[in-house]
């Protein structure tokens, strides 16, 4: 294999910090907290609302995110993120924990103005959710470091002020349900990430902002700047 190819191959495969795995797919869940669905003026879904983000959205703790010129209203959405470490299809509720390799946090950046137009027109959210750098992720801890996956706190600070504070116990579809549901559609593979939805309090970012997200008071943290 020539060196240029190796270089390109590594460029195409962002890694999951803390786990020795390249990111494979980025599955995301919309409206998984009732209070967030309410603040968006959206109904609470009866089945999980699923969308995907492209690999180019992945970036890391300490990165600066450039706001794309196509939007004037880019929002943060802090989310608990699950990394899959074992291949599975039709994963039963009872065995979802065997497929979780790590827990982290991320921000599902969203161009709200573009998303609003897409919603109105019945179009997909791929552009609104998919700009480069729109999915910063923290390092991941292995599940044994987490006491209860269904009682995980998540907090987002914007310039030092708390803007979002949620807990996985408030999810409409808990993490095991999400893995069970997704795996009925997609074979899940090591390196797949699941952004599990955002609690209430989403809001716009401006150049110069500093965002910090904490998982359970600091077992993981993620900090990014807005350029």
**Which residues of this chain interact with Zn ion, rule CB under 5 A?**
77, 108, 198
Instruction: Quote the least distance from Cβ 60 to Zn ion, whole Å.
Output: 18
Instruction: Quote the least distance from Cβ 99 to Zn ion, whole Å.
Output: 21
Comparing CB distances to Zn ion, the nearer of 77 and 192 is: 77
Give the three-class secondary structure for 204: strand
CA distance 168 to 173: 9
Matching residue, tokens 């060196």:
3
Comparing CB distances to Zn ion, the nearer of 180 and 198 is: 198
β-pairing, 153-158 with 100-107?
unpaired
Comparing CB distances to Zn ion, the nearer of 71 and 198 is: 198
Comparing CB distances to Zn ion, the nearer of 88 and 166 is: 166
Instruction: Give CA torsion, residues 16, 158, 124, 127, to 10 deg.
Output: -80
Residues 125 and 51 sit within 8 Å (Cβ to Cβ): yes
Comparing CB distances to Zn ion, the nearer of 77 and 216 is: 77
Instruction: Quote the least distance from Cβ 202 to Zn ion, whole Å.
Output: 8
Instruction: Quote the least distance from Cβ 108 to Zn ion, whole Å.
Output: 3
Residues 174 and 194 sit within 8 Å (Cβ to Cβ): no
Instruction: Quote the least distance from Cβ 3 to Zn ion, whole Å.
Output: 38
Comparing CB distances to Zn ion, the nearer of 79 and 216 is: 79
Instruction: Quote the least distance from Cβ 28 to Zn ion, whole Å.
Output: 6
- b/e per residue, 137-172, with b = 16+ CB within 10 A? bbbbbebeebeebeebbbbbbbeeeebbebbbebbb
Measured CA distances, 109 to 21, 89, 133, 142, 145 (Å): 23, 29, 8, 25, 27
CB-closest chain residue to Zn ion: 108
């Amino acid at each position: 294999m020539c060196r240029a190819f190796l270089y390109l191959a590594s460029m195409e495969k962002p890694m999951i910090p803390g786990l020795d795995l390249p990111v494979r797919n980025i599955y995301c869940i919309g409206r998984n907290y009732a209070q967030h669905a309410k603040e968006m003026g959206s109904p609470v879904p009866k089945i999980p609302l699923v969308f995907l983000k492209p690999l180019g959205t992945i970036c890391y703790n300490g990165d600066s995110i450039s706001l794309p010129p196509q939007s004037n209203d880019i929002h943060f959405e802090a989310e608990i993120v699950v990394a899959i470490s074992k291949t599975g299809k039709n994963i039963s509720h009872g065995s979802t924990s065997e497929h979780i390799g790590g827990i982290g946090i991320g921000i599902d950046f969203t161009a709200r103005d573009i998303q609003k137009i897409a919603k109105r027109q019945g179009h997909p959210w791929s552009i609104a959710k998919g700009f480069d750098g729109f999915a910063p992720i923290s390092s991941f801890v292995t599940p044994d470091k987490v006491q209860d996956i269904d009682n995980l706190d998540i907090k987002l600070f914007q310039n030092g002020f708390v803007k979002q504070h949620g807990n996985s116990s408030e999810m409409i579809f808990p993490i095991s349900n999400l893995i069970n549901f997704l795996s009925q559609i997609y074979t899940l593979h090591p390196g797949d990430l699941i952004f599990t939805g955002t609690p209430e309090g989403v809001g716009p970012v401006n150049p110069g902002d500093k965002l910090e997200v904490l998982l359970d008071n600091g077992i993981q943290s993620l900090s990014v700047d807005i350029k």
